[in-house]
Amino acid sequence: MSALANNSIVAVIGSGAMGAGIAQVAAAAGYTVKLYYTRAEAVSKALLDIGKMYAKLAEKGRMTADEAAAATARLQAAGSLADVSDCALVVEAIVENLDVKRGLFAELEALVSDDCILATNTSSISVTAIAAKLRRPERLVGMHFFNPVPLMALVEVISGLATSAQVAATVYNTSIAWGKNPVHAKSTPG
């Protein structure tokens, strides 16, 4: 299985340090990214900060000014969770709370297409437990980034008991396309 096509749309749910970092990396890799959080002002601030980061990277010669402008243009604020319905991959980076994550993924499952991959950035909750109440638990995978996301190369691709091998392989290869060094890991809380 290869990486998600470059014309795929990626959603990131959560605009804190992890969510913003994931959005920054995905947009720099050429993907359109929709950033969503319940507080619209936090999303606006994250998008502004990411744009400033791209400008700094261009000043330092790590990307061209055109690349920085293009990456910034690929970032969008999602006004509601429904705005991510056209995404091929949704990466969740919200509070470490099982019930909150389950609720979010249940909502997402009702909005996105059946072939959309759902990923959690959790580092402390079982992927199997998060997926347990989903209609299609095989499409949920752990995609655990390390902070700060733009600087840390490692991404753990974590399969729960129901995660399909194809979903895990797609996320693994997409991580490579994003300039990361992925490793497959078992779902072990903490």
Active site residues: 144
Question: Do residues 87 and 116 lie in contact, with contact meaning Cβ atoms separated by under 8 Å?
Answer: yes
User: What would you report as the CA-atom Rg of the chain, rounded to the nearest whole angstrom?
Assistant: 15
Strand 9-13: give its sheet, edge to edge: 75-77, 32-36, 9-13, 89-92, 117-120, 140-145, 154-159, 181-186
3-class SS of residue 30: coil
3-class SS of residue 149: coil
Q: What's the gap between Cα 12 and its chain centre?
A: 5
> Any idea which residue has 């996105």 for tokens?
112
H or E stretch at 2: none
Buried residues in 81-105 as b, exposed as e (16+ CB within 10 A): beebbebbbbbbbbeeeeeebbebb
